[in-house]
């Protein structure tokens, strides 16, 4: 794929996110490469693999979006308890908590309709 969906250069380091695999199903992209590279080409990269397909049909094979939101909320709260506390972090925490709430609401709604864990809408 090699389409960069996020890129930022800061302090001589280029940070990028690119999807590596696009699903043939309706669940979109599920594998991403995150990289940080300096001007000399040195750096670090990781991949994140999200759940691909419903758990009941595909088994557990990746993370849920809610996992990453929880990590980000925790990380920013850690910043807020130290030397990096700022208004922007507080606002970001609030927005991430809201995003998590809506995803949890979606899951509850799917459970209530009896379609959670399936390909049904």
Reported in sequence order, the residue ranges of 1-121 that DSSP labels E, i.e. its strands, are 6-10, 13-22, 29-38, 43-49
pLDDT at residue 26, rounded to an integer: 53
pTM above 0.75, yes or no: yes
pLDDT in tens, 64-94: 999 999 999 999 999 999 999 999 999 999 9
pLDDT at residue 119, rounded to an integer: 82
Contact yes or no for 29/19 (Cβ under 8 A): yes
More confident residue, 22 or 30: 30
Q: Per-residue pLDDT for 47 more than 70?
A: yes
Three-state secondary-structure class, residue 15: strand
């Amino acid at each position: 794929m090699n389409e960069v969906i996020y890129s930022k250069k800061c302090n001589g380091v280029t940070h990028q996110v690119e999807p590596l695999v696009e699903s043939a199903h309706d669940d979109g992209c599920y594998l991403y490469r995150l990289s940080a590279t300096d001007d000399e080409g040195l750096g670090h990269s990781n991949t994140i693999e999200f759940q691909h397909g419903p758990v009941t049909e595909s088994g557990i094979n990746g993370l849920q979006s809610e996992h990453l939101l929880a990590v980000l909320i925790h990380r920013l709260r850690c910043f807020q308890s130290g030397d990096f506390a700022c208004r922007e972090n507080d606002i970001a925490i609030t927005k991430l908590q809201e995003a998590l709430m809506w995803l949890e609401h979606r899951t509850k709604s799917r459970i209530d309709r009896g379609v959670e864990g399936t390909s049904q809408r």
